[in-house]
Amino acid sequence: MDIDLNSIVKTGMMREESFLVEETHTASHLGSGNSRVLATPWMIAFMERTCHRLLAEKLPSGYSSVGILVHVRHLAPCAVGSMVRVQAEVIEVNGLKVLFKVSAHNNDILLGDGTHERFVIDEKRFLNKIKASS
């Protein structure tokens, strides 16, 4: 079954989620720095997770999405125990690709922003490709 993504996902669709910064989310824990602040890879993971969940709510059973491009700036630190609010907005749908505008905030402070692109997959077909290549 092929899907017409343009009939399911529309530009302007948005999702917002909040995440608590825990010790495991810090640069020092991850090894990407020495500080006990939100690590860039975790900020990006929160952004990807929000985008994935937005699509997951819209896609039919048997379909999912995978991240294929991240272009993000990390602009400010965020301490352990803080809440990170992530916003994702669909800005383009092109075939099976969906481009999002993403941002992360701690209260009124912009922590990071940029774009994230995801590709919609037929899960069964995707898993068969993995099996065939291993």
The answer to whether the CB of 65 falls within 8 A of the CB of 100 is: no
Euclidean distance between CA atoms 105 and 111, whole angstroms = 5
The superfamily (CATH) of domain 5-133 is: Hotdog Thioesterase (3.10.129.10)
List, for the chain, all residue ranges whose pLDDT scores fall below the cut of 70: 1
Residue 24 has a pLDDT of 96
Residue 97 has a pLDDT of 97
Euclidean distance between CA atoms 15 and 89, whole angstroms = 7
Residue 20 has a pLDDT of 98
The DSSP code for 16 is E
Euclidean distance between CA atoms 31 and 39, whole angstroms = 9
Taking only the tens place, the pLDDT of each residue in 12-41 is 999 999 999 999 999 999 988 889 999 999
Q: Whole-model pTM? A: 0.94
Exposed/middle/buried for residue 18 (C-beta within 10 Å: 0-12, 13-18, 19+) = exposed
The answer to whether the CB of 47 falls within 8 A of the CB of 84 is: no
Residue 133 has a pLDDT of 84
Q: Residue ranges of the domains in the chain? A: 5-133
